[in-house]
Amino acid sequence: MRSVLVVFGLLLFMMSCSSSSEALKPVESEVPDSPDNLSYLALGDSYTIGESITEDLRWPVQLVKQLRIEGAEINAPRIIAKTGWTTDNLLNAIDANLGNEKYDLVSVLIGVNNQYQNKSIIDYEADLNTIFTEAIEASKTGKEGVFVVSIPDYGATPFGASNAEEIGKEIAEFNAVLKKVADQFDLSYYNITPISKMAKSDRSLVAADGLHPSGNMYTLWVDLFFNEVFEKLQ
């Protein structure tokens, strides 16, 4: 088990060496942004920045594309996320980069690196309280504009297969805390974890690195919660 985790850690370390500044900029879009358009802030880690896939396949980008198809005039997402980030890292990035700007949509997906690095689940819960408070503050409509996405189970990937049972158990524990705190804040919570488990039998749902989701999996995530997210903008 530890050997697998060590290799996993080295992979995360190498991936996290990419420039964090890229993760803090609005994603390029073929549709010009406008201050009159709706806005979207995506907070997270590798699953939000889309490690090992192209920018157009990131799930926040896919979500915006689908919203536009349905007639929403919305700017490209602003993504504050980086591979390897824990809740501590995300909080630091929020403090350094968020400012006073308000958004029509705010999403949060964070926690896998807390689990992997054996961080305290009690500290995770405390950090989530702060992150959700910040997310609500950044939302133009308060809690109504914020949604939370569950942590995928990377034990279903080729990289996590040899330790799948323990990974799945620990991810479930962190997700239980994530949902509990989201419910306490009365935030929409979307459970994509069952979809992530489909990677065990469908490798088209895994990126080329054998660890992160592919664009195909992210499409399934967006399909799961699209209608409810779209309603938030009505």
pLDDT digits (tens, 9 = 90+) for 96-150: 999 999 999 999 999 999 999 999 999 999 999 999 999 999 999 999 999 999 9
What is the per-residue pLDDT for 3?
41
25-41: average pLDDT: 76
Whether the pLDDT of residue 170 is over 90: the answer is yes
What is the per-residue pLDDT for 87?
98
What is the per-residue pLDDT for 32?
80
List, in order, residues 6 or more apart from 108 with CB less than 8 Å away. 43, 44, 131, 132, 135, 146, 147, 148, 149
Give the single-character DSSP code of 203. G
Instruction: Report d(CA 195, CA 217) in Å as an integer.
Output: 8
Please report which confidence band the pLDDT of residue 30 belongs to, taking 50, 70 and 90 as the band edges. low
Domain that holds residue 215: 2-232
> Which residues on adjacent β-strands are paired with residue 78?
26, 41
Instruction: Report d(CA 137, CA 171) in Å as an integer.
Output: 28
Whether the pLDDT of residue 11 is over 90: the answer is no
Instruction: Report d(CA 210, CA 87) in Å as an integer.
Output: 24
Helix 59-69 / helix 215-232 crossing angle, nearest 10 deg = 50
Whether the pLDDT of residue 18 is over 50: the answer is no
What is the per-residue pLDDT for 6?
39
pLDDT digits (tens, 9 = 90+) for 180-212: 999 999 999 999 999 999 999 999 999 999 999
Please report which confidence band the pLDDT of residue 5 belongs to, taking 50, 70 and 90 as the band edges. very low
Give the single-character DSSP code of 188. E
The answer to whether residues 69 and 230 touch, using CB atoms and an 8 Å cutoff, is no
Whether the pLDDT of residue 10 is over 90: the answer is no
The answer to whether residues 59 and 50 touch, using CB atoms and an 8 Å cutoff, is yes
Whether the pLDDT of residue 12 is over 50: the answer is no
Whether the pLDDT of residue 28 is over 90: the answer is no
Closest by alpha carbon to 30, among 6, 56, 1, 3? 56
Indicate the number of domains in the chain: 1
Closest by alpha carbon to 138, among 104, 111, 186? 104
Element (H, E) at 149: strand 146-149
Element (H, E) at 225: helix 215-232
* CATH at residue 74: 3.40.50.1110
Whether the pLDDT of residue 25 is over 70: the answer is no
Whether the pLDDT of residue 24 is over 60: the answer is no
More confident residue, 32 or 81: 81
**What does pLDDT average to over the chain?**
90
What is the per-residue pLDDT for 13?
36
pLDDT digits (tens, 9 = 90+) for 36-84: 999 999 999 999 999 999 999 999 999 999 999 999 999 999 999 999 9
Phi, psi of 80 (to 5 degrees): -115, 95
Overall size of the chain counted in residues: 234
